[in-house]
């Protein structure tokens, strides 16, 4: 019995020591903070074991701070203050601005304090700078050789980061968990706040050095202004409606697939006939912002500076099509039916040149005309609901500024994987008649049926409201479906031609008439739009690749313009 009591006492003491260990307490506080933040709409609270680099950084920073502070009863707590505050700032910044905090955002703090009321400045000072001041006052300035040695890892990492950012980037990616191309937030969830801040700073430095020779702001803005002046003085000032449709997959392009009934709604076929054409997207199955970049900026997504060009945008004027049109007298209205933090969309839209930016009010604190509403089991807002809100906005705009032409851009979200339909409002009516099965394809086909009905109804109302305008609807990319490229190959999408599943549907209506174009690339859209606005003069003054057919030059001819654009977009 005595042995049992001894073992019990030892275990209890060991457990008490464990749960009161300063490292255990620190990680418990960070986990609790993450859990509370996730409940408030910040990052999903992923477990630390998936964040190997983050674990090492937190342990190292805490140990270093603990060592350099003077001994005392508050030493263990004060050492954790900078790490906890960094996590807190990261989460508050994300919830307030729908963007992931980056080191470069520190330069925005003076402007923040200038616009906030004095009472807010005082509260922020007490909450954040008070504890930091306590830490600084507790530093033991009688440092020794051990402190210098402990600082060597930090100095080494920062040296590599700032002087050899490409080496840092490569080493980081080789050690980290998956970096999610389409979401800064998900990358943080997998790798941690501190870790991703370092990586994004390395990427920023890489970009800055690679494109610095192209950065000549005065000349760049001057050329854009000349372009805008030409459109204003010689253009027809017609409205332009550009709609990018999330995962708008045309099942009729599967040459080996058969369906229980035609996948296209009969109203769609009756109105558009053979006018729908094809355009080539820069990617398969995801990374919507790559299509948006090409469509709005007229450049291929070379991915020379980042795997997602939108992530490079800082909000500085990139002089893409919306920006040029705005300078040329247009009211440029951009809207996205999903969250503003995906693909750095909010910042990118600002740099692209939208004078008005809209996201669903459920995800966005700014002024907006979009409300996602109750999407039910489908999760994503149906096209018709979004189109009706867009039409209502356009009617209001025509009353507010009747003499000002409009560039109306809309990025939809319905049709996104996993293609869920609500059987109460959109029951499945089409079956895939083939031995090869893909449930995502079957559901996507049913969505296509309902979406084509929504599209034709929307276009008819647009034409009635705005008969002398250009309307373009195109898919951002085809969806990955259940089996990825295997489904596309097995069912002979586009007869399995080279790059078959980069081909997407595009619908163009000019002055109320559905119009067929030859094969396009997404980055042809600005040329198509400007050629329409100048009654064909735009492509007489410059080479428009989409009119050259087989003589079209390789896209690499646009690389210099691409680097120049990104040089200014990332300022």
Give the residue, 183 or 20, on which the prediction is more confident. Answer: 183
Pairwise CA distance, residues 387 & 108, whole Å: 36
Total number of residues shown for the chain:
571
Residues 285 and 338 in one domain: yes
pLDDT tier, 536 (very low <50, low <70, confident <90, very high otherwise): very high
Residues 396 and 526 in one domain: yes
Adjacent-strand bridge partners of 474 = 244, 506
Residues 256 and 195 in one domain: no
User: Does residue 1 fall inside a structural domain?
Assistant: no
Residues 257 and 334 in one domain: yes
Summarize pLDDT for 413-451 with one digit per residue, the tens: 999 988 999 999 999 999 999 888 889 999 999 999 999
User: Does residue 230 fall inside a structural domain?
Assistant: no
The domain boundary residue, chosen from 168, 196, 211: 211
Q: Which of these ranges, 2-16, 115-129, 216-230, 382-396, has the smallest mean pLDDT?
A: 2-16
Domain that holds residue 525: 242-569
Average pLDDT (461-476) is 96
Q: What's the confidence (pLDDT) of residue 108?
A: 55
What is the percent of the chain where pLDDT is above 90?
A: 49
- Structure tokens that stand for 372 in this block: 């996602």
The domain boundary residue, chosen from 165, 193, 211: 211
User: Does residue 365 fall inside a structural domain?
Assistant: yes
Q: What's the confidence (pLDDT) of residue 77?
A: 87
Q: Does 565 have pLDDT greater than 90?
A: yes
Q: Does 390 have pLDDT greater than 80?
A: yes
CA-based nearest residue to 209, from 178, 182, 169:
169
pLDDT tier, 109 (very low <50, low <70, confident <90, very high otherwise): low
pTM value is 0.73
Residues 487 and 360 in one domain: yes
Average pLDDT (332-345) is 88
Summarize pLDDT for 94-108 with one digit per residue, the tens: 765 556 787 866 755
Average pLDDT (170-174) is 90
H-only helix segments in 138-256: 145-163, 165-175, 184-191, 193-211, 217-234
Q: How many Å is the Cα radius of gyration of the chain?
A: 27
Contact 340, 348 (CB under 8 A): no
Q: Does 118 have pLDDT greater than 80?
A: no
Q: What's the confidence (pLDDT) of residue 18?
A: 46
Q: Which of these ranges, 309-318, 461-470, 491-500, has the smallest mean pLDDT?
A: 309-318
Contact 247, 445 (CB under 8 A): no
Pairwise CA distance, residues 247 & 160, whole Å: 41
pLDDT tier, 3 (very low <50, low <70, confident <90, very high otherwise): low
User: Does residue 384 fall inside a structural domain?
Assistant: yes
The domain boundary residue, chosen from 190, 211, 232: 211
User: Does residue 229 fall inside a structural domain?
Assistant: no
Q: What's the confidence (pLDDT) of residue 288?
A: 87
Average pLDDT (478-493) is 88
Q: What's the confidence (pLDDT) of residue 9?
A: 47
Helix or strand run (H / E) with residue 123: helix 118-124
Average pLDDT (243-261) is 95
User: Does residue 232 fall inside a structural domain?
Assistant: no
Write the DSSP string, 345-400: HHHHHHHHT-SEEE--TTT--S--S------GGG-S--HHHHHHHHHHHHHHHHHH
CB-based contacts of 215: which residues, under 8 Å, 6+ apart?
567, 568, 571
Q: What's the confidence (pLDDT) of residue 321?
A: 97
Pairwise CA distance, residues 383 & 360, whole Å: 14
User: Does residue 217 fall inside a structural domain?
Assistant: no
What is the percent of the chain where pLDDT is above 70?
A: 91
Q: What's the confidence (pLDDT) of residue 8?
A: 46
Q: What's the confidence (pLDDT) of residue 318?
A: 93
Residues 130 and 45 in one domain: yes
Summarize pLDDT for 491-528 with one digit per residue, the tens: 999 999 988 989 999 999 999 999 999 999 999 999 99
Residues 248 and 363 in one domain: yes
Average pLDDT (447-472) is 97
Total domain count, the chain: 2
Pairwise CA distance, residues 426 & 422, whole Å: 5
Pairwise CA distance, residues 492 & 486, whole Å: 10
Residues 179 and 278 in one domain: no
Residues 81 and 21 in one domain: yes
Pairwise CA distance, residues 544 & 175, whole Å: 44
Residues 345 and 431 in one domain: yes
Give the residue, 351 or 10, on which the prediction is more confident. Answer: 351
Residues 515 and 366 in one domain: yes
User: Does residue 257 fall inside a structural domain?
Assistant: yes
Residues 302 and 374 in one domain: yes
CB-based contacts of 138: which residues, under 8 Å, 6+ apart?
69, 70, 72, 74, 75, 78
Pairwise CA distance, residues 213 & 564, whole Å: 9
Q: What's the confidence (pLDDT) of residue 331?
A: 97
Backbone angles phi, psi at 534, to 5 degrees: -105, 15
Q: Does 252 have pLDDT greater than 50?
A: yes
* Domain CATH number, residue 336: 3.40.720.10
């Amino acid at each position: 019995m005595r042995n049992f009591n001894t073992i019990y006492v030892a275990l209890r003491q060991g457990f008490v020591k464990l749960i009161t260990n300063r490292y255990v307490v620190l990680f418990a506080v960070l986990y609790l903070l993450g859990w509370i933040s996730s409940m408030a709409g910040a990052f999903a609270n992923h477990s630390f074991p998936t964040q190997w680099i983050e674990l090492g950084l937190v342990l190292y920073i805490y140990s270093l701070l603990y060592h350099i502070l003077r001994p005392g009863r508050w030493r263990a707590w004060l050492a954790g203050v900078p790490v906890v505050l960094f996590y807190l700032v990261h989460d508050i910044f994300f919830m307030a601005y729908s963007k992931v905090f980056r080191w470069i955002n520190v330069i925005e703090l003076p402007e923040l304090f200038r616009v906030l009321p004095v009472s807010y400045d005082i509260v922020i000072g007490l909450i954040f700078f008070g504890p930091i001041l306590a830490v600084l006052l507790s530093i033991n300035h009688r440092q020794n050789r051990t402190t210098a040695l402990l600082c060597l890892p930090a100095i080494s990492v920062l040296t590599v980061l700032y002087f050899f950012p490409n080496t840092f980037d490569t080493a980081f990616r080789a050690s980290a968990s998956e970096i999610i191309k389409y979401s800064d937030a998900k990358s943080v969830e997998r790798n941690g706040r501190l870790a991703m801040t370092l990586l994004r700073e390395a990427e920023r430095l890489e970009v800055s050095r690679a494109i610095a020779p192209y950065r000549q702001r005065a000349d760049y803005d001057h050329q854009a202004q000349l372009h805008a002046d030409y459109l204003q003085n010689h253009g027809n000032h017609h409205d332009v409606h550009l709609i990018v449709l999330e995962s708008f997959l045309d099942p009729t392009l599967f040459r080996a697939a058969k369906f229980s009934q035609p996948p296209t709604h009969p109203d769609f076929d009756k109105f558009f006939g053979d006018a729908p054409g094809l355009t080539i997207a820069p990617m398969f199955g995801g990374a919507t912002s790559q299509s948006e970049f090409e469509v709005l900026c007229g450049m291929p997504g070379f991915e020379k500076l980042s795997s997602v060009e939108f992530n490079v945008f800082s909000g500085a004027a990139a002089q893409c099509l919306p920006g040029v049109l705005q300078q040329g007298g247009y009211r440029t209205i951009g809207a996205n039916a999903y969250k503003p933090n995906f693909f750095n969309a909010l910042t990118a839209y600002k740099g692209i040149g939208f004078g008005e930016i809209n996201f669903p009010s459920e995800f966005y604190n700014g002024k907006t005309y979009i409300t996602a509403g109750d999407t039910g089991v489908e999760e994503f807002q149906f096209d018709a609901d979004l189109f009706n809100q867009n039409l209502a906005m356009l009617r209001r705009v025509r009353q507010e500024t009747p003499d000002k032409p409009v560039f109306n851009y809309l990025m939809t979200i319905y049709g996104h994987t996993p293609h869920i339909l609500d059987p109460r409002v959109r029951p499945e009516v089409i079956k895939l008649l083939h031995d090869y099965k893909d449930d995502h394809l079957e559901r996507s086909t049913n969505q296509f049926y309902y979406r084509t009905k929504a599209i034709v109804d929307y276009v008819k109302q647009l034409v009635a409201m705005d008969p002398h305008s250009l309307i373009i609807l195109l898919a951002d990319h085809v969806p990955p479906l259940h089996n990825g490229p295997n489904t596309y190959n097995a069912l002979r999408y586009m007869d399995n031609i080279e790059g078959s599943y980069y081909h997407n549907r595009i619908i163009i209506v000019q002055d109320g008439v559905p119009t067929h174009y030859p094969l396009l690339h997404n980055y042809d859209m600005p040329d198509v739009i400007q050629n329409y606005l100048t009654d064909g003069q735009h492509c007489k003054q410059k080479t428009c690749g989409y009119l050259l057919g087989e003589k079209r030059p390789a896209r690499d001819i646009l690389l210099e313009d691409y680097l120049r654009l990104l040089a200014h977009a990332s300022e």
